[in-house]
Amino acid sequence: MKTEENLHKRVLYEEMTWEEVDEAIRKRAIAVIPVGILENNGPHLPVGANLYITEEVIRSAAQKVVPKVPIVIFPTLEYGNCTADRRYSEIVSIKPSVLGSFLSNLLLELDRKGFENILLVKCSSSNSYILPTVCQVKEENIGAEIFIVSPWAFIVEEREKHPYGIITAMLMYLKPELISWENLTKKEYLIRKIPKSYFMKIPAGEYFDTMFSGKLSAEGVIFISDKQNYPISDIREDSDKLTAQYGEELIKHKVNGFAEMLLEIYEKGFIKNMYLNQP
């Protein structure tokens, strides 16, 4: 492929030269930052499962829209905060305050460089530091618009049907070699009844991130879970549905939705589907 043709498809920041970055900024390129996590996704999945899924979706979507929509994909923030996993001896987790300072600095730096639109793509429901950090940065009168995309964007309905199985299915399609197939057994989802006394009321509208965040925060009650006491498996009783083909459908659906969203941000500067902004 000729260099010039190649350049149109070059979207990874780390692969670009500084001249190309300068040019991309002048063309109002959208800066996309995958915000990752290393977490326990069940005994059969690698701790970086969500990183692979998110990176694949972003890169494929970008290839669909460049050069019409200039895109720059930044290196993934692979370390995250995983409070629910904190008692697992194998899961590395960084404090939210540290990650918040880091992300804040990065956003201000991209603003200083001249990026007008920054898209933070959450790789997982964890990482509750993201939203408060963005609010804090906006208080500092940052010029760039900042968007946060949920890991479940574009597949919300499928996630409701198979809350924990879709990660397995998507990885079956993307990285089957990383799945520990002998640990992929049909299991009942195990959850102990949580005593009500553990619940803590939180101010309405405040955002917390736990494995139950969606349901409980809507009720204004939160419980910071500990997955070791309330173990999850990525496989539920519907594991028959989990196939590489299903995973491929999910990924393609996400890629198409993501590509459409990038176009919308570039052309209009906003996202019409409100659920994208929900954590």
Partner 1 sequence: MLKKKKTLYKDMIPKEIEELIKKDAIAIVPIGAVEQHGFHLPMGTDTYQIEAAVYAAAEKVIEEIPVVVMPTLEYASCTSTRDFPGAITIRPQILISLLTDLLHDLDKKGVKNIVLVNGHGGNNYIYSAVYEAISGGVSAKIFISSYFAFIGKTIQEKEAAEDKNVGHACQVETSMIMYLRPDLIRYEKLQKGELFSHLASKYSFIRDTSKGVSFVPNRREHMKIGARGDSRKGTKKRGEELIKLNINGFIDLLHRIHNQK
Binder of partner 1 out of 109, 160, 206, 238 (CB under 8 A): 109
Q: 127 by DSSP, 3-state: which?
A: coil
- On the 0-12 / 13-18 / 19+ scale of CB atoms within 10 A, 31 is buried
Task: Calculate the alpha carbon distances from 243 to 22, 48, 123, 168, 170 in Å.
Answer: 43, 20, 21, 8, 8
Least separation in angstroms between residue 70's CB and partner 1 is 14
Residue written as token pair 């300068």:
22
Task: Write the burial class of residue 177 (CB in 10 Å: 0-12 exposed, 13-18 middle, 19+ buried).
Answer: exposed
Candidate residues 8, 67, 68, 105; the one interacting with partner 1 per rule CB under 8 A = 105
Nearer to partner 1 among residue 7 and residue 263 (C-beta): 7
The two tokens of residue 70 are 């200039």
If the CB atoms of residues 93 and 217 are measured against partner 1, the closer one turns out to be: 93
Give 89 or 197: the residue with its C-beta nearer to partner 1: 89
Q: Which residues pair with 71 in a beta bridge?
A: 30
Of the candidates 22, 206, 237, 267, which one interacts with partner 1 according to CB under 8 A? Answer: 22
**C-beta separation of 243 from 250 below 8 A:** no
Q: Is 115 in the site for partner 1 (CB under 8 A)?
A: no
Q: Kindly state the smallest distance separating residue 204's Cβ from partner 1, in Å.
A: 32
Per rule CB under 8 A, is residue 17 in the interface with partner 1?
A: yes
Q: Give residues in contact with partner 1 (CB under 8 A).
A: 3, 6, 12-19, 21-22, 25, 38, 40, 43-48, 51, 74-75, 77-79, 88-95, 98-99, 101-102, 105-106, 109-110, 113, 178, 180, 183
